Amino acid sequence: MALLALIEEAGNRMLRLDPETLRRLGELQGKAIRVRLVAASGEPMEFYLLPSEAGLRWRVSHETEPDVTLSGDPPFFLRMLLGEGATRKAGELRISGDIELGQRFKRILDGLDLDWEEPLSRLVGDVAAHELGRAARAFGAWGRQSVGTLGQDLAEYLQHESQLLATRARIETFLSAVDELRADADRMEKRLQRLSGSR
């Protein structure tokens, strides 16, 4: 898939700016990590990451069962790539399979420290590279805040205005009703068993 190849090449170019992360990824060589993007509606999208000291190879399929599966919604993975993975809420990331490997991989990504200024200084000089780096960090902080705000606004719209998503209270009410119905069905089944046994 051409798009995946482009993402792989761009991602590995960025990773080359952080040799320590590449070294740590090399320690995971031979492992297969499945990433499952779970959207609110529709089928989940999956791809596989194969780490090595050269970076990450991206694949749409893999011949063997992955060592670990990381599942979450697209905004979570976007925040993780923007450096906000450590502030995740409970339940945003689900890890199945080799949990220790999944947590280790996440820590590697959380520790990603790209030095943009060094290669940029060769092109535009030290002072300009420093100013561009400062501007990029400010823009990144604004972008992270904007993504968070946009996510909250979208969730509120989908829950309250369009009512396409249920609120937590409605979900809890529904689950409570399901539990009550299950308990009623169990009681009815026991009553029927007693009645059929008394004949």
pLDDT digits (tens, 9 = 90+) for 20-74: 989 999 999 999 999 988 876 667 788 899 999 999 999 989 899 999 999 988 7
Does the pLDDT of residue 125 top 70, yes or no?
no
State in words which class domain 2-114 has.
alpha beta
Residue from 5, 54, 62, 9 nearest 28 by CA? 54
Tokens read off for 68: 């670990």
3-state secondary structure the chain: CHHHHHHHHHHHHHHCCCHHHHHHHHCCCCCCEEEEECCCCCCCEEEEEEEECCEEEEECCCCCCCCEEEEECHHHHHHHHCCCHHHCCCCCCEEEECHHHHHHHHHHHHCCCCCCHHHHHHHHCHHHHHHHHHHHHHHHHHHHHHHHHHHHHHHHHHHHHCCCCCCHHHHHHHHHHHHHHHHHHHHHHHHHHHHHHCC
Question: Radius of gyration of the chain from Cα atoms?
Answer: 24
Question: Which pLDDT score, from 0 to 100, does residue 107 have?
Answer: 86
pTM over 0.75: no
Question: Which pLDDT score, from 0 to 100, does residue 3 have?
Answer: 72
Q: What are the distances in angstroms from CA 149 to CA 38, 40, 153, 154?
A: 20, 18, 6, 8
Pairwise pLDDT comparison (128 vs 119), residue with the higher score: 128
Pairwise pLDDT comparison (96 vs 83), residue with the higher score: 96
Pairwise pLDDT comparison (2 vs 107), residue with the higher score: 107
Does the pLDDT of residue 131 top 70, yes or no?
no
49 CB-contact burial (10 Å; exposed 0-12 / middle 13-18 / buried 19+): buried
Tens digit of each residue's pLDDT (9 = 90 or more) over 136-184: 555 555 555 555 566 666 666 655 555 555 566 666 777 778 778 888 8
Pairwise pLDDT comparison (4 vs 133), residue with the higher score: 4
Q: Indicate the domain borders of the chain.
A: 2-114, 115-162, 166-199
Report the pLDDT averaged over residues 90-113: 84
Question: Which pLDDT score, from 0 to 100, does residue 57 have?
Answer: 93
Question: Which pLDDT score, from 0 to 100, does residue 69 have?
Answer: 94
Question: Which pLDDT score, from 0 to 100, does residue 5 have?
Answer: 81
